[in-house]
Amino acid sequence: MSVIRKTLVLAAVLATALGVVAASAEGYQDIQDQVQEFTLPNGIHFIVLERHDVPVFSFNTFVNTGSAQEVTGITGIAHILEHMAFKGTAEIGTTDAKKEALAMKAEDEAFAALKVERLKGDHADPAKLAALEQAFTDAKDAARAFVVSNEFGQIVENNGGRGMNAGTGTDDTNYMYSLPSNRLELWAYLEGTRMSRPVLREFYTEKDGPVTEERRMRTENSPIGMLIEQFQNLAFMAHPYHHSTIGWMTDLNTITRQDCADFYKTHYVGRNMTVAVVGDIRFDEVKRLAGKYFAGVSAAVPPVIETFDAPQKGERRMVIEDEAQPFYICGYHIGNWAHADAAVYDAIADILGQGRTSRLYERLVKQDKSAVQAFSFAGYPGDKYPTLLAVLGMPAKDVAAEQIEIAVFEEIQKLMDEGVTAEELAGVKRRARANFVRSLEGNMGLAAQLSDYQGKQGDWRRMFTQLEAIDAVTVEDVQRVAREIFVPNNRTVAFIKTVEAAN
Amino acid sequence: MKRIMKKAAPVLLLLAAASLASPALAARNKPWEKIKTPSLGEIRLPDYQRVQLDNGMVLYLAEDHELPMIELSATIRAGQIYEPEGKTGLAALTGEVLRTGGTASWSGDEIDEKMESLGAMVETYVEGYTAGAYLSALTEDADTALAILAEILRSPRFAEDKLDLSKTQHKAGIARRNDEPMSIARREFSRVILGPDHPLARNEEYDTLGAISRQDLVDFHADWFGPDRTYLVVIGDFDAAVMTGKIKAAFAGWPAARRPLPADPAVPDLPRTVNVAPKADLTQSTVILGHKGIRNDDPHYAGIEVANRILGGGFASRLFNEVRSARGLAYSTGSASGTGWRQPGVFVAFAGTKSESTEQAAVVMIEQIEKMTREPVTAEELRVAVDGILNSDVFNYDSKREVLDRMVLFEMNGYPADFLTRYRAEVQGMTAAKVLEACQAVWQPEILSVLAVGNPADFDGDLSRFGAVNTVDITIPEPKLSLEIPAATPESLAAGQKLLDRAAAAVGGRKLADMKGFATKQTLAAEIQGMSLNITMETTIVLPDRLKLIQKLPFGESTQVLDGDKGWVQSPMGVQDIEGPDAAKMRDQINGDMLMLLRDHAGRTCQALPAEELDGKTCERVYITDEQGDYTLMFLDTATGLPVMEQSKGEAPMTGEPVTQKVKYDSYKDFGGVQRPATFTILFDDEVFATGQTTSFTLNPTVAAGFFAKP
């Protein structure tokens, strides 16, 4: 329920599972023929795939909004909103929505007053601060008195729901679970009402509790998590990927419910939503229920991002000193999913650092034994906007990060100088096809993929036609693109240097 | 026995659609309860076949032609529970090198290349109670992948370089194991619950990895892997009869596992312990409570599953609402029922919380567990839990793989095939009284052990309210006991024997060969805890199995005797019998004596290692090992052939902690035709512990009648 997807390690897995597809789409025509779709007047696009083997279904709601849509001051808000989407509506999760709304208003005012005093820092009046803290706590308690805790989750669970989860990334936010197929209308009610009329109750409790603690767990208390966050901060400047999805700690402290409501209003609009439903359901029934329960989602036009970085003019490099073991990352700027060379980036990442026969694995892990893991992938931290091709290495015991960097650079240079063999590229294409076939298994996986391709790339068919793009990659393409991107000026490096704990 | 059955029994799901219509307590509008829920269609078990081959292997096959793929998973009764002590990591290494180390006809790298070029996957593993393999390939590549998988399971090569590679990775894992708090919590909690000596709770260390040789992997595989304990699930785009024939051919002639299956190590019943693993740089704590649980055939299984759902199994749970939502105490919390298919599981409640609420989180969780054993759950809680279990039952049948994997699980662990149907019926008839009865029978709040990982300086309490607090030392032990020994070759083994022949001749020749026993007197000046002590030791050995050791210290005297397979010890505290493992230890003391090693070396594995300098002398080195994995590394003076140092595993005198023991020998002197060192030095972990002199030595002593008798 609070997973931030597309953290670095997970992204590597996803790069294999979702991203790269190759070879022909023939043979999957059956599935393509069975996909049906419709769009509501407010812009929400629905994709339906009927599979009647077992009386269950899964769905994925793709919201084309992630942390990239945040600005300084409200970083982390896309993730907070994802948590809020489980808090219910005016009907679910409250004993009295009207009285609760008044109590929440009082709570917001108490927080606003407290925030003003807190911002004074050392000049704050301690007595006043204490009084305001108390008033805020009291207001929170008063609002909480109307809360029916976790009712949304309980309804899903009580009705046999499985796999209820959500994830926020830089590019998008996704909501998913599965239900027995006789609960289709219940699902439409639950999903439609929370997407069109969520109540952001328990906002401060959730933000200051689970959300903040999640940041600590992923970043402050995780040396590799900290490294990855700062690597991203350094590689992107004005670009919306500059800040991490979990958000700055100080923003988490100061964001208000109104900020969150504004973010919802701006971005959770029909045109940003794609819902895929896969399983033992009927298209006509989904269409009827969608019209009934999803019509309340806003039909407004979402804003677009127009701020990006100028080309990098020199290597950027940083070190984290910690008692933890060393870790190495470097990244090179590349284009987004729509770039003409997108399939070539995937091929390069695959040959360089995916699987047991990749060049980095062969060199660092098998031959030099200087690393225990080495991999690379295209599209960190997302691929909706210009992004990075990243290389990661986990050094063996008693090996420093700088030591494996030498071998990483040598392998990259070799790729630029000598290119790749036809066999290597054929392997990429064959693997991509097998991975693509694997990704078609299961209602949940299909729903996720169909909504992702439709939502981000505008057409679910690209999930199939991308096979052709990677099939068209030549060895010349690989060398050309490698020479273009793997230049030191385009590089950002970050690593952990192990130091003794300070006593 | 050979049996093929085809089955497609419809399983009726008795989903209580009407159960949602409970009367509203308050005047709340709950529109979702008015939504109609049509009855759920019948669900059918997938068509499948169960086949048992002549060699004992059991196959479950299901055709599925939706995608052009096949998927195969093997489960084998071979797990970490069979790993010998002192070689922790052997099972996991076997599971990895099985795949990476190649087979009789393919090297590991060739398999990598083949698989990567096909986009196929073959992976193997060994975990706690079972080992296994997984294969996924496009239909057109299925034959190649199956042939490789069969070879991997039947005739692995266990290439030495791939073992080294895996060891390098495991060593990096050891170095990193304290970097993430969750990994500390998981590791230490299993030690708390299972005790440090259970095979699944032992820590992998640099030294346990160092003690593992290629031969150990070969033996582990031959001992525990075989068709007689292998279950295959095969699903995908194939014809079942044809696939059965292919599998039969691929595994024909695979010999049965060498060793019979021993009983599983027991999950012990331990009293409560309170444990803190300190890590100063953390701002959050992980708090885990737990005790031994039950097996799933326990009569309280259904009651406990329902109870756990209410306690900490989901959004409706008391822990989630009390600890996380209402009090904002934790960012994650929940519980696990503690039921297990093979062995009793572990009942666990956990919370991730900020340092300042560590103790409070533990207190609240224990309160909630106590309440479960004290008061019946409410009708509403029961309804929600029961509905949740029954309504999600359909997901037990939503993938063929899940259904067939479960059949294997039931067959392996002796559960009836209709276990789930019976369980469902029990859940349907569940009452608050039965839940309470189950909680009272199984959950015991007073014996819940506690583990907190975090920074105790910021804790809101020191946890001593739960009992005496044990501080868990998570410091990673540096390697000290193990040596980096190159692989033995026939040449190095022959050379080792030759060197020891020469040493035996130099020490005693004929006299040593005919030795029936010896008596020796030694004096020692030792440093123990800053005190200098003078000790006299009189050792008398009559071969093959009698030993008397008299030690005189300034504050008393002790006598230890081994007489055959038992013995006794007399100290100022009185006389005690010595039996079993302690007696075996004394026997090892006889057999491990330098003179015995030299006399009996022909029967041992003795590997010559490259010569080294030691205290200015060039020394030949011989690495002598026994079946228990203990070793002696003997340094022999190249000039004289005499031993100048022995290195082995030892125990620190006061703490009993494992140390590397070195004994240096000097100033050899002739005692009636046998050369003995007049002076020697004992070092523990390269620090001098004692210096000593040999004052007398008699070969083949005559002992009086009753010399070994218990006083």
pLDDT digit string, tens, across residues B498-529: 999 999 999 988 888 888 999 999 998 887 76
| Contact yes or no for B641/B509 (Cβ under 8 A) | no
* CA–centroid distance for A353 within its chain: 22
B7 band by pLDDT with thresholds 50, 70 and 90? very low
Least confident of A268-277, B38-47, B134-143, B663-672: B38-47
CA angle A404, A409, A412 (to 5 degrees): 130
A22 band by pLDDT with thresholds 50, 70 and 90? very low
Taking each helix axis from N to C terminus, what angle separates B108-118 and B142-154, rounded to the nearest 10 degrees?
Answer: 160
pLDDT at B44: 79
Closest of B258, B255, B261, B260 to residue B55, by C-alpha: B255
Q: Among A155, A369, A432, select the one facing B32 at the smallest CB separation.
A: A155
pLDDT at B657: 66
Alpha carbon distance B388, B393 (integer Å): 9
| Long-range contacts of the stretch A154-158 (C-beta < 8 A, 24+) | A154/B314, A154/B315, A154/B316, A154/B384, A155/A92, A155/A186, A155/A190, A155/B32, A156/A190, A156/B315, A157/B314, A157/B315, A157/B316, A157/B384, A157/B388, A157/B392, A158/B316, A158/B384, A158/B387, A158/B388, A158/B391
pLDDT at B180: 83
Contacts of A185 in chain B (CB under 8 A): 35-36
pLDDT at A20: 31
The predicted-structure confidence for B9-34, as pLDDT tens digits, reads as follows: 333 222 222 233 333 345 688 999 99
pLDDT at B326: 67
Q: Is A355 on the interface with B (CB under 8 A)?
A: yes
Instruction: Tell me the pLDDT of chain B averaged across its residues.
Output: 88
| Contact yes or no for B641/B648 (Cβ under 8 A) | no
For range A173-178, the mean pLDDT: 98
pLDDT at B601: 85
Closest of B146, B105, B136 to residue B248, by C-alpha: B146
Structure tokens at B549: 């050791």
Contacts of A152 in chain B (CB under 8 A): 315
Alpha carbon distance B129, B75 (integer Å): 10
Alpha carbon distance B177, B453 (integer Å): 13
Q: Among A224, A396, A441, select the one facing B67 at the smallest CB separation.
A: A441
Alpha carbon distance A353, A387 (integer Å): 18
* CA–centroid distance for A345 within its chain: 20
The predicted-structure confidence for A76-100, as pLDDT tens digits, reads as follows: 999 999 999 999 999 999 999 999 9
Cβ distance B176 to A324 less than 8 Å, yes or no, reads: yes
Nearest CA in chain B to A440: B67
| Contact yes or no for A437/B69 (Cβ under 8 A) | yes
Please provide the DSSP assignment of A403-421 as one string: HHHHHHHHHHHHHHHH---
pLDDT at A28: 67
Cβ distance A434 to B284 less than 8 Å, yes or no, reads: no
Determine the residue among B65, B140, B176 to mutate to test chain A binding: the one whose Cβ has the most chain A Cβ atoms within 10 Å: B176
Q: How many C-beta neighbours within 10 Å does residue B490 have?
A: 7
Alpha carbon distance B446, B454 (integer Å): 23
| Contact yes or no for B138/B151 (Cβ under 8 A) | no
Alpha carbon distance B430, A497 (integer Å): 57
The predicted-structure confidence for B562-571, as pLDDT tens digits, reads as follows: 998 888 988 8
Amino acid letter for position B613: E
Cβ distance A56 to B398 less than 8 Å, yes or no, reads: yes
For range B613-633, the mean pLDDT: 84
pLDDT at B597: 86
Whether the CA torsion B526, B528, B533, B538 is positive or negative: it is negative
Q: Is B279 on the interface with A (CB under 8 A)?
A: no
Q: B39 has which bridge partners?
A: none
Q: Is A189 on the interface with B (CB under 8 A)?
A: yes
Cβ distance A434 to B119 less than 8 Å, yes or no, reads: yes
Alpha carbon distance A135, B84 (integer Å): 62
3-state secondary structure of B574: strand
For range B45-72, the mean pLDDT: 93
For B432-457, b/e burial (b = at least 16 CB within 10 A) is bebbbbbbeebbbbeebbbbbbbbbe
| Contact yes or no for B408/B233 (Cβ under 8 A) | yes
Query: How many residues are listed for chain B in this entry?
Result: 711
Alpha carbon distance B129, B343 (integer Å): 9
The predicted-structure confidence for A307-324, as pLDDT tens digits, reads as follows: 999 999 999 999 999 989
Q: Is B36 on the interface with A (CB under 8 A)?
A: yes
Q: How many C-beta neighbours within 10 Å does residue A19 have?
A: 24
The predicted-structure confidence for A53-68, as pLDDT tens digits, reads as follows: 899 999 999 999 999 9
Structure tokens at B322: 């009390």
B482 band by pLDDT with thresholds 50, 70 and 90? low
Q: Among A55, A181, A223, select the one facing B179 at the smallest CB separation.
A: A223
Nearest CA in chain B to A427: B117
Alpha carbon distance A176, A174 (integer Å): 7
Structure tokens at B629: 């994995």
The percent of residues in chain B predicted with pLDDT above 90, rounded, is 62
Instruction: Tell me the pLDDT of chain A averaged across its residues.
Output: 91
3-state secondary structure of A63: strand
Q: Which position has the higher pLDDT, A216 or A8?
A: A216
Q: Among B31, B137, B164, select the one facing A91 at the smallest CB separation.
A: B31
Contacts of B354 in chain A (CB under 8 A): 213, 216
3-state secondary structure of A318: strand
Alpha carbon distance A493, B9 (integer Å): 60
The ipTM is: 0.84
Contacts of B109 in chain A (CB under 8 A): 357, 366
pLDDT at A335: 97
B484 band by pLDDT with thresholds 50, 70 and 90? low
Cβ distance B332 to A357 less than 8 Å, yes or no, reads: no
DSSP label at residue B397: G
Ramachandran sector of residue B30 (left: φ over 0; alpha: ψ -120 to 50; beta: rest): beta
A14 band by pLDDT with thresholds 50, 70 and 90? very low
Taking each helix axis from N to C terminus, what angle separates B358-374 and B301-312, rounded to the nearest 10 degrees?
Answer: 140
The percent of residues in chain A predicted with pLDDT above 90, rounded, is 82
Decide the pairing of beta strands B274-278 and B469-471: parallel
Q: Among A186, A209, A394, select the one facing B32 at the smallest CB separation.
A: A186
For B277-298, b/e burial (b = at least 16 CB within 10 A) is bbbeebebbbbbbbbbbbbbeb
B67 band by pLDDT with thresholds 50, 70 and 90? confident
Whether the CA torsion B106, B110, B116, B122 is positive or negative: it is positive
Please report the residues numbered 150 through 169 in chain B whose beta carbons come closer than 8 angstroms to any beta carbon of chain A.
164-165, 168-169
pLDDT at A349: 97
Residue B8 has pLDDT above 50, yes or no: no
3-state secondary structure of B605: strand
Cβ distance B119 to A209 less than 8 Å, yes or no, reads: no
